């Protein structure tokens, strides 16, 4: 089972209830009542909308496609979250992902709430005109509830800048005269998208890791070495030695994170394995990541799948089984492909001491508990993969102002915002027995609860 965000919210509230420093002005019976209200508000969505899009296919057949928009919470700002096109989309999954967006935005001080959308299709089964129609219908059916100040969708699995451009175009036709540029983010640059948006998540994922093992570990070296703490010891150990990385998934996120690792001169790391939907490529001396990135750009996104393709591309690597990557003898594993990759079935074979979640929920609850007990350092999705939504916020701002930032400015603002989150979260990792995921969730729940209380929503 993927991490159940509602359950982690409850856990966080239980800890906060006993914390005398949190909302000290509410005590005894009123405190119990306020926390009961928080439990129900934060673990349920404000709205779940479901429609059946009526689509006329190219062969003139008329079909109905189930589609969702879930608006979890907007106490911090307009709802925000991607639209997923996948055959396994279902209501519970969309609610779970919308909840995660509320928490992620709260954690990183992005002034948005949480939402998520989904359409139950395998996009590969539709041609481009049919996909264009599905996008337009999605906007038509949900046009009353989305908009730049209400709910701002973005791409997710199965959707990209192309779909956001189409959707924004449709929104503009339905709402003439409105500032339509802020209605969708993740658009193409020519259509009002932000420079740097494509790389933002992958760069942010590697930055989250580098910040802990280099910036934080260097600044806090003495403090960490005085701690009698296994995790502090492991961080200091990795900081100064040569170590190896494997990256699962070599798409937008994984390829950028791998390239950041390859180019990093602050840590002595080497990417020795990468995988995609077909294969794992392995080289114990380190893979030539820039050449692999070039290959995937030129060859429809997939990695070389055999010795001939590797030789033609001038890449030295061995082809091994796709899922073998997860259990390789490496120090650090970046999960940048899909949900539910480290599970009860393979958790005991995982050798990495550090796992960075680039994808959402790649570790199931059972595996998360097991690995935390074993002392594996898990940098959770909510902390690591927020680069995308932070730059989406910058895109929304730029669209409103119709003033566009240079790429360096975008990354500078993104990293500053993430750094401020790390400075709150990382020091807490060593002072108690909570995992990074629990600390992040608690921080988000604390922020949301405080704002809900101050807006008078708990009476």
Tokens for 197, please give them: 């948006």
Name the segment binding ligand NAD (CB under 6 A); options: 51-59, 125-133, 230-238, 353-361: 353-361
Name the segment binding ligand NAD (CB under 6 A); options: 215-223, 270-278, 345-353, 427-435: 270-278
Q: How far is the CB of 340 from ligand NAD (least distance, A)?
A: 10
Q: Site for ligand NAD (CB under 6 A): how many residues?
A: 22
Q: How far is CA 311 from CA 60, 319, 379, in A?
A: 47, 12, 36
Helix or strand or coil: residue 116? strand
Using CB under 6 A as the binding rule, whether residue 275 contacts ligand NAD is answered as yes
From the list 107, 273, 336, 384, which residue makes contact with ligand NAD (rule: CB under 6 A)? Answer: 336
Start-to-end Cα distance in the chain: 35
Using CB under 6 A as the binding rule, whether residue 322 contacts ligand NAD is answered as yes
Using CB under 6 A as the binding rule, whether residue 250 contacts ligand NAD is answered as yes
172 annotated active-site: no
Q: Can you tell me the distance from the alpha carbon of 117 to that of 133, in angstroms, rounded to the nearest whole number?
A: 17
Q: How far is the CB of 105 from ligand NAD (least distance, A)?
A: 13
From the candidates 80, 116, 187, 270, give the one annotated as an active-site residue.
Answer: 116
Distance of CA 421 to the CA centre of its chain: 15
Pair 356, 246: CB distance under 8 Å: no
Name the segment binding ligand NAD (CB under 6 A); options: 31-39, 42-50, 356-364, 435-443: 356-364
Write phi, then psi, for 168 (nearest 5 degrees): -65, -40
Question: 406 burial class (0-12, 13-18, 19+ CB within 10 angstroms)?
Answer: exposed
Q: How far is the CB of 221 from ligand NAD (least distance, A)?
A: 32
Q: Can you tell me the distance from the alpha carbon of 57 to that of 130, in angstroms, rounded to the nearest whole number?
A: 6
| Closer residue to ligand NAD in complex, CB, 33/277 | 277
| Closer residue to ligand NAD in complex, CB, 220/252 | 252
For the segment 133-172, give every residue that binds ligand NAD (CB under 6 A): 156-157
Place of tokens 């296994």: 230
Torsion (CA) 99, 104, 105, 109 in degrees, nearest 10: 140
Name the segment binding ligand NAD (CB under 6 A); options: 44-52, 66-74, 251-259, 445-453: 251-259
Q: Can you tell me the distance from the alpha carbon of 247 to that of 410, in angstroms, rounded to the nearest whole number?
A: 25
Contacts of 53 (CB under 8 A, 6+ apart): 64, 65, 66, 67, 119, 134, 137, 138, 141
Q: How far is the CB of 322 from ligand NAD (least distance, A)?
A: 5
Using CB under 6 A as the binding rule, whether residue 294 contacts ligand NAD is answered as no
Tokens for 400, please give them: 């409103």
Name the segment binding ligand NAD (CB under 6 A); options: 31-39, 70-78, 309-317, 355-363: 355-363
Q: How far is the CB of 260 from ligand NAD (least distance, A)?
A: 13
Pair 118, 84: CB distance under 8 Å: yes
Using CB under 6 A as the binding rule, whether residue 201 contacts ligand NAD is answered as yes
Supply the residues annotated as catalytic: 116
Contacts with ligand NAD, residue ranges (CB under 6 A): 156-157, 201, 248-254, 275-277, 322, 336-338, 358-360, 385, 388
């Amino acid at each position: 089972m993927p991490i159940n965000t509602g359950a982690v919210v409850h856990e966080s509230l239980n800890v906060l209830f006993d914390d005398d420093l949190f909302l000290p002005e509410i005590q005894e019976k009123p405190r119990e009542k306020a926390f009961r209200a928080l439990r129900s508000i934060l673990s349920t969505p404000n709205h779940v909308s479901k429609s059946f899009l009526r689509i006329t296919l190219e062969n003139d057949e008329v079909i109905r496609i189930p589609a969702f928009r879930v608006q979890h919470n907007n106490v911090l700002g307009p709802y925000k979250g991607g639209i997923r096109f996948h055959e396994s989309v279902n209501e519970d999954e969309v609610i779970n992902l919308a909840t995660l967006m509320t928490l992620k935005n709260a954690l990183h001080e992005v002034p948005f709430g949480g939402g998520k959308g989904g359409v139950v299709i395998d996009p590969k089964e539709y041609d481009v005109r049919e996909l264009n129609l599905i996008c337009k219908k999605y906007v038509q059916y949900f046009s009353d509830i989305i908009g730049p100040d209400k709910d701002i969708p973005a791409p997710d699995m199965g959707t990209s800048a192309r779909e956001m451009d189409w959707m924004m175009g449709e929104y503009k036709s339905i709402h003439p005269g409105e500032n339509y540029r802020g209605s969708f983010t993740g658009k193409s640059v020519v259509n009002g998208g932000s420079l740097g948006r494509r790389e933002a998540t992958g760069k942010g994922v590697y930055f989250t890791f580098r910040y802990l093992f280099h910036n934080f570990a260097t600044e806090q070296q003495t403090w960490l070495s005085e701690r009698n703490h296994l995790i502090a010891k492991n961080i200091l150990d990795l900081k100064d030695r040569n170590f190896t990385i494997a990256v699962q998934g070599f798409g937008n996120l994984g390829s950028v994170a791998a390239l950041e690792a390859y180019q990093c001169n602050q840590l002595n790391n080497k990417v020795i394995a990468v995988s995609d939907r077909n294969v794992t490529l392995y080289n114990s001396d380190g893979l030539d990541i820039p050449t692999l990135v070039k290959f995937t750009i030129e060859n429809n996104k997939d990695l070389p799948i055999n010795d001939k393709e590797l030789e033609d591309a001038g890449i030295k690597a061995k082809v091994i089984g796709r899922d073998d990557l997860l259990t390789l003898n490496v120090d650090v594993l970046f999960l940048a492909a899909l949900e539910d990759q480290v599970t009860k079935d393979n958790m005991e074979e995982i050798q990495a001491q550090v796992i960075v979640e680039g994808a959402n929920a790649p570790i199931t609850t059972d595996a998360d508990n097991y690995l935390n007990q074993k002392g594996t350092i898990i940098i959770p999705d909510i902390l690591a993969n927020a680069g995308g939504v932070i730059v989406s916020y910058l895109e929304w701002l730029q669209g409103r102002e119709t003033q566009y930032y240079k790429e360096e400015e975008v990354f500078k603002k993104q990293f500053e915002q993430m750094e401020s989150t790390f400075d709150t979260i990382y020091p807490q990792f060593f002072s108690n027995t909570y995992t990074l995921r629990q600390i992040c969730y608690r921080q988000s729940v604390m922020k949301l609860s405080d704002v809900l209380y101050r807006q008078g929503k708990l009476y």
